[in-house]
Each structure stands twice: as C-alpha cells, then as structure tokens.
C-alpha cells in the first residue's frame, strides 16, 4: 500500500519519467480545477470573516481589523495578487501530481467547523490531512528542516491543527494523529513534506476566545512593540508589523522612509533620518 512518506519521491519520479501514462481525462479535469482556482483567486472579499485560516494570526489586533474593518487594509499591488493566484494554481498542480503518482487524494476543499467557525482543508492524502503551501526558498527551508514549530509568524500550525482536530470523526481521515504540509519552493521547484503530530490543544476554547476578541467593542492591544532603530533614539516597526496590511490604521502617526535596503517604518522620530521620507 502506498504511504504518504513516499509522496515527494513519487512525484519526482513521475516528473522524471514523463506523463505518457496519464489519461487525457485527468488533464481535462485538471484544466477545470485550474479554471475554478483562477476564478476564485480573481474574486475580492467584500467583508472579513473569522476563518480557520486566520484564527492563528499572532496579532489579535490584526485579526480584529481583518474581520471588522477590512476596508482599512492597505491596497495590494497587482504583483501581490499575482503571487496569490500562482499559489492557487501550484496547489492544484501538486495535488494532480500526487494523485497521478499513485497516491489517494480525497476531501479537496471540504468544509470543516469548530465552534461555528468554518474552514476548508486542501486535501486528505493517503488518509492524512494535508495543507499545500507555496514558499520562497528561504521559507521553504523552514518546512524542509522541521523548524516551522519554532518560527511560525503566520499561524500555519494552528491552521493545520484545526483541520486535524475537526476531522477526528471524518472516515476518510484514517491518520488521526498527524497532519502534513506539502510544500513547493516556487523558485527552485523543490518539494517537501513536513509532518506534524497532533497537538493536545483545546481548540474549541481557542476559537471561543478568538470569537470574543473579534466580537468585542474594544480594540485589542497591539501584538508587537516597536524596536529601537539603532542608537538614534528612533523606533521602528519590526518585521511582522512592517508586512502587516493594517500598520497605518494601527499606527496613525507612522512615518515611512526610503532606506537603501527597503522602506523603514518609524513610530517615533527623535533624529530625522538622512534619507527621503515617503509620503
């Protein structure tokens, strides 16, 4: 019986020998899935919702904004939307390759629920809950080396653990104790499978707490504090906050400066930087 542990090697083997044995009907079905993925990716959500995919967001204020005030998010450039679209397409291609390499792929985008909060898992492969990710070469190494549990800024582990928790009674999920990320390096094409053991977490309690946060009239505290910007006395946003879509709503007096290594967001200016300010 095929096991998920051989998935990556089996996909590589399929790619190396070519797809002569893949029926035309499988390619036609892939084409339909790709069309639906592109269509879905082109849609824009008009309002925010609490979902399994964002419950693990490490900053409760960001979560609050995304659910209650999505209109405050910074506008995203076209290239960012292109990045998301590419991720959806690569997910379909990976699952196609998994299936054609002899593995059992089921439960695609099945709806799941914890405390009324909905989510859609990517798939169940060989009885194991799987979340498909596309990553930069830098991020890919975290999955490949098993370091995600130590550095998970986007809450991916809570997301996949939520899928696993909510699927304990699902008959197609035969592996009740593990879930896995199937990850592709979108630059180099490398693939890895990052398997995680089931965590003993009271997820219903976690979800009730998150629902209280987003349903409250009170704005949550910021999840991160500014960092010293060298010895100038200035303070800047850290990495997580710099990439947040709600940083300007969170810090109304934020100032942006054009440094050689990229924009820097200052929350406190004691000494005027010797670089142009971006208005």
110 domain-assigned: yes
Task: Quote the strand ranges of the chain, DSSP E.
Answer: 105-106, 111-114, 117-120, 123-125, 128-135, 178-185, 191-197, 227-228, 235-236, 255-259, 262-268, 277-278
219 domain-assigned: no
72 domain-assigned: yes
- For residue 41, the model assigns a pLDDT of 86
Task: Quote the strand ranges of 27-143, DSSP E.
Answer: 105-106, 111-114, 117-120, 123-125, 128-135
Query: Does 60 share its domain with 197?
Result: yes
- For residue 169, the model assigns a pLDDT of 96
Query: Does 244 share its domain with 207?
Result: no
Pick the last residue of a domain from 213, 248, 270: 213
What does the alpha-carbon distance between residue 191 and residue 188 come to, in Å, rounded to a whole number? 9
Instruction: Return the closest-CA partner of residue 52 out of 117, 116, 109.
Output: 117
Query: Does 15 share its domain with 82?
Result: yes
Query: Does 128 share its domain with 241?
Result: no
CA-based diameter of the chain, in Å? 67
One pLDDT digit (tens) per residue for the chain, 279 residues = 789 999 999 999 999 999 888 999 999 999 999 999 999 888 876 668 999 999 999 999 999 999 999 999 998 889 888 998 999 999 999 999 999 999 999 999 999 999 999 999 999 999 999 999 999 999 999 999 999 988 888 889 999 999 999 999 999 999 999 999 999 999 999 999 999 999 999 999 999 999 999 999 999 999 999 999 999 999 999 989 999 999 999 999 999 999 999 999 999 999 999 999 998
- Which domain, by its residues, includes 263? 227-278
What lies within 8 Å, CB to CB, of 237 at 6+ separation is 224, 226, 227, 247, 251, 254, 265, 266, 267
Instruction: Tell me if residue 263 falls in helix, strand or coil.
Output: strand
Query: Does 207 share its domain with 258?
Result: no
Report the sign of the C-alpha dihedral through residues 145, 193, 107, 12, in that order. Answer: positive
Query: Does 162 share its domain with 68?
Result: yes
Q: Give the number of domains in the chain.
A: 2
Q: What angle in degrees, to the nearest 10, is found between the helix axes of 78-100 and 7-17?
A: 90
Query: Does 169 share its domain with 257?
Result: no
Query: Does 161 share its domain with 255?
Result: no
- For residue 276, the model assigns a pLDDT of 94
Pick the last residue of a domain from 184, 213, 242: 213
Query: Does 178 share its domain with 260?
Result: no
Query: Does 183 share its domain with 257?
Result: no
Query: Does 129 share its domain with 167?
Result: yes
What lies within 8 Å, CB to CB, of 86 at 6+ separation is 134, 186
Beta bridge partners of 135: 185
222 domain-assigned: no
């Amino acid at each position: 019986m095929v096991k998920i542990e051989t998935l990556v090697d089996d996909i590589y083997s399929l790619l190396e020998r070519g797809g002569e044995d893949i029926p035309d009907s499988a390619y036609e079905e892939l084409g339909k899935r790709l069309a639906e993925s592109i269509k879905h990716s082109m849609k824009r959500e008009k309002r925010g919702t609490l979902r399994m995919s964002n419950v693990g967001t490490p900053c409760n204020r960001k979560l609050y904004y995304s659910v209650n005030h999505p209109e405050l998010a910074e506008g995203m450039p076209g290239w960012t939307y292109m990045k998301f679209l590419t991720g959806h397409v690569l997910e379909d291609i990976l699952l196609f390759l998994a299936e054609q390499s002899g593995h059992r792929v089921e439960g695609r985008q099945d709806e799941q629920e914890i405390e009324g909060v909905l989510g859609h898992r990517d798939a169940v492969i060989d009885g194991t809950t799987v979340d498909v990710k596309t990553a930069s070469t830098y991020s890919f190494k975290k999955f490949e080396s098993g370091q995600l549990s130590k550095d998970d800024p986007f809450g991916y582990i809570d997301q996949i653990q939520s899928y696993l928790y909510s699927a304990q009674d699902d008959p197609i999920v035969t592996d009740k104790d593990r879930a896995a990320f199937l990850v592709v390096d979108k630059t180099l094409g490398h693939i890895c499978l990052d398997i995680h053991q089931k965590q003993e977490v009271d997820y219903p309690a976690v979800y009730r707490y998150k629902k209280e946060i987003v349903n409250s009239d009170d704005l949550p505290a910021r999840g991160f504090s500014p960092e010293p910007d060298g010895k100038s006395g200035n303070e800047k946003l850290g990495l997580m906050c710099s990439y947040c879509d709600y940083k300007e709503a969170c810090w109304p007096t934020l100032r942006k400066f054009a440094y050689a290594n990229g924009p820097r967001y200052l929350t406190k200016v004691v000494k005027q930087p010797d670089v142009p300010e971006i208005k």
